[in-house]
Copies of this chain bind each other. A is one copy, B any other.
Amino acid sequence: MANPLTPDVLVDPVALTRALVDIESVSRDEKVIAGHVEDVLRRLPHLSTERHGNTVMARTDLGRGRRVVLAGHLDTVPLNDNFPSTVVDDLIYGCGTSDMKSGVALALHLAATLPEPGYDVTFLFYEAEEIESRFNGLHLVSQAHPQWLEADFAVLLEPTYGVVEAGCQGTLRATVRTAGRRAHTARAWRGVNAIHAAGEVLRRLEDYRPRTIVLDGCTYREGLNAVGISGGVAGNVVPDECAIDVNLRFAPDRDERQAAEHLHEVFAGFDLEVTDSAPGAMPGLASEPAREFLAAVGAEPEAKLGWTDVSRFAALGVSALNYGPGDPLLAHTQDEHVEIGKIRDGAATLYRWLTAYE
Contact = CB atoms under 8 A, between A and B. Distances in A.
B223 A189 contact: yes
B306 A184 contact: yes
A189 B221 contact: yes
A245 B232 contact: yes
Interface in A247-282: 247, 249, 276
Contact of A187 (B77, B183, B305): B305
Given A132-B235, A202-B196, A185 B333 contact: no
Interface stretch (A32-40, A110-118, A236-244): A236-244
Interface residues of A, number: 60
Contact of A227 (B228, B229, B237): B237
Contacts of A237: 77, 227, 332
A348 interface: no
A51 interface: no
Given A182-B332, A328-B184, A227 B223 contact: no
B333 A195 contact: no
Contacts of A185: 171, 223, 225, 227, 247, 249
A195 B332 contact: no
A226 interface: yes
A236 B78 CA distance: 12
B193 A226 contact: yes
Interface string A277-302: 00000000000000000000000000
A213 interface: no
A206 B199 contact: yes
A184 B235 contact: no
Nearest to A334: B182
Nearest to A191: B225
A236 B247 contact: yes
Contacts of A221: 189
A205 B199 CA distance: 9
Task: Count this chain's copies in the assembly.
Answer: 2
A234 B202 contact: no
A308 to B, nearest CB: 9
A130 B225 contact: no
A195 B226 contact: yes
B195 A244 contact: yes
Nearest to A331: B184
Contact of A184 (B190, B198, B332): B332
Contacts of A351: none
B169 A186 contact: yes
A22 to B, nearest CB: 22
Nearest to A237: B332
A188 B328 CA distance: 12
Interface in A171-188: 171, 173, 182-188
24 contacts: A130-B234, A131-B235, A171-B186, A173-B235, A183-B333, A184-B306, A186-B223, A186-B306, A187-B223, A187-B306, A189-B221, A190-B329, A195-B202, A195-B226, A195-B229, A199-B206, A226-B239, A227-B232, A227-B239, A229-B229, A229-B231, A229-B232, A235-B245, A235-B276
Q: Nearest 8 pairs between A and B by C-beta?
A: A228-B232, A199-B202, A186-B306, A195-B226, A188-B223, A186-B305, A185-B247, A229-B231
